[in-house]
């Protein structure tokens, strides 16, 4: 029983983190209809940046977050404006191909720069845990999960309350009509991609703080997780990503008690397939803007 509780608690904090990986991925998919296969690579780029800042300047990963977020935002903005925008109207196969290739370029560059070793950001609080009865929750994971929750709520508020959020949703719903309102769609797309990249960077930093990462297997795993969670929770829906992350985190963690190793991936897929059979639009439902109309 205590083993189950421990697994469930771990699943919750891990799930929050996975939700943070997925929320930006889901945003880009919902607004731009781009399945960004380089999302995991962007997350790992953020992880390396935080790792470098910690290694050379002793900066705590939580304090490094703003730097990572801004750097990844600018990188994401430029990527969208200069590269992904070229295929934004192309069939989805082309955007898949481009973002897959982009991911390969990024992760091979990282491997060239830092080799393929597993890395982790060492912190004084990494080994300390909050004890709740028989259940132990590491402080780092708890903070990461709390941050994921705060970011998701914050992003949802930005989308529904602010001028920027309105322009993003309108562009996602009907780009042609949004442009007739004077909304600069290309700029909005680039900002959306920048936000997504920044969130990926933040998620990557958190992963590096509570676990380890490397340039070869981590990006693909994160992209796969983000994909499963986005579809599971409901495309483009911020809270959907969070709930999808929690469901996946708990399922993998509890399922890991019974099954071993890579079978955990099978659990993720089984959860996805079962959900889609019961609720095709995802657990929370698709966001309003994910049913797009072209010019």
Partner 1 sequence: MLEIEKLNAGYGRVQVLWDVDLAVEAKQIVALVGANGAGKTTLLRAISGMIAVRSGGVKFRDRDIAGASIESIVDLGIAHVPEGRRLFSGLTVRENLVLGGWRRNNRDLSRVVALFPVLGQRLNQVASTLSGGEQQMCAIARGLMSEPSLLLIDELSLGLAPIMVDEIVGRLPEIAASGTAVLLVEQDIDTALTVSETAYVLETGRITRSGSSRELLADATIQAAYLGLESQ
244-283 in b/e form (b: 16+ CB < 10 A) is bbbbbbbbbbbbbeeeeeeeeeebbeebbeebeeeeeebb
Tell the smallest beta-carbon distance from residue 279 to partner 1 (Å). Answer: 19
Q: Which lies closer to partner 1 via its Cβ, residue 153 or residue 181?
A: 181
Q: Which lies closer to partner 1 via its Cβ, residue 182 or residue 261?
A: 182
Q: Which lies closer to partner 1 via its Cβ, residue 123 or residue 166?
A: 166
Tell the smallest beta-carbon distance from residue 151 to partner 1 (Å). Answer: 24
Tell the smallest beta-carbon distance from residue 148 to partner 1 (Å). Answer: 27
Which residues in this chain contact partner 1 in the complex, by CB under 8 A? Answer: 163, 166-167, 169-170, 173-174, 176-185, 288-289, 291, 293, 295
The torsion defined by the Cα of 75, 77, 83 and 86, in degrees rounded to 10, comes to: 170
Yes or no: say if 167 and 285 are a contact pair by the CB < 8 Å rule: no
Tell the smallest beta-carbon distance from residue 30 to partner 1 (Å). Answer: 12
Q: Which lies closer to partner 1 via its Cβ, residue 56 or residue 163?
A: 163
Q: Which lies closer to partner 1 via its Cβ, residue 126 or residue 186?
A: 186
Instruction: Retrieve residue 221's tokens.
Output: 């795993």
Query: How far is 286 from 290, CA to CA, in rounded Å?
Result: 7
Q: Which lies closer to partner 1 via its Cβ, residue 258 or residue 294?
A: 294
Tell the smallest beta-carbon distance from residue 182 to partner 1 (Å). Answer: 3
Tell the smallest beta-carbon distance from residue 199 to partner 1 (Å). Answer: 24
């Amino acid at each position: 029983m205590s083993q189950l509780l421990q697994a469930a608690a771990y699943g919750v904090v891990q799930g929050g983190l996975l939700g943070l990986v997925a929320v930006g991925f889901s945003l880009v998919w919902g607004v731009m209809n781009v399945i960004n296969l380089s999302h995991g690579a962007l997350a790992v780029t953020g992880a390396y940046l935080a790792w470098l800042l910690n290694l050379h300047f002793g900066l705590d990963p939580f304090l490094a977050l703003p730097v990572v977020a801004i750097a990844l935002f600018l990188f994401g903005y430029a990527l969208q404006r200069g590269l992904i925008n070229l295929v934004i109207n192309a069939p989805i196969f082309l955007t898949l191909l481009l973002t897959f290739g982009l991911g390969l370029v990024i992760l091979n560059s990282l491997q060239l720069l830092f080799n393929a070793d597993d890395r982790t950001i060492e912190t004084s609080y990494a080994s300390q845990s909050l004890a709740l009865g028989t259940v132990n929750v590491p402080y780092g994971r708890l903070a990461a999960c709390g941050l994921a929750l705060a970011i998701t709520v914050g992003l949802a508020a930005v989308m529904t309350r602010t001028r920027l959020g309105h322009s993003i949703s309108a562009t996602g719903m009907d780009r042609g009509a949004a442009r007739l309102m004077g909304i600069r769609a290309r700029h909005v797309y680039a900002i959306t991609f920048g936000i997504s990249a920044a969130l990926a960077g933040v998620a990557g930093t958190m992963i590096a703080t509570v676990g380890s990462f490397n340039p070869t297997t981590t990006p693909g795993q994160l992209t796969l997780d983000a994909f499963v969670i986005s579809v599971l929770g409901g495309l483009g829906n911020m809270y959907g990503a969070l709930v999808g992350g929690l469901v996946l985190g708990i399922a993998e963690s509890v399922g890991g008690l019974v099954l071993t190793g890579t079978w955990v991936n099978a659990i993720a897929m089984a959860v996805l397939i079962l959900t889609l059979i019961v609720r095709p639009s995802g657990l929370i439902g698709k966001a309003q803007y994910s049913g797009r109309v072209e010019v």
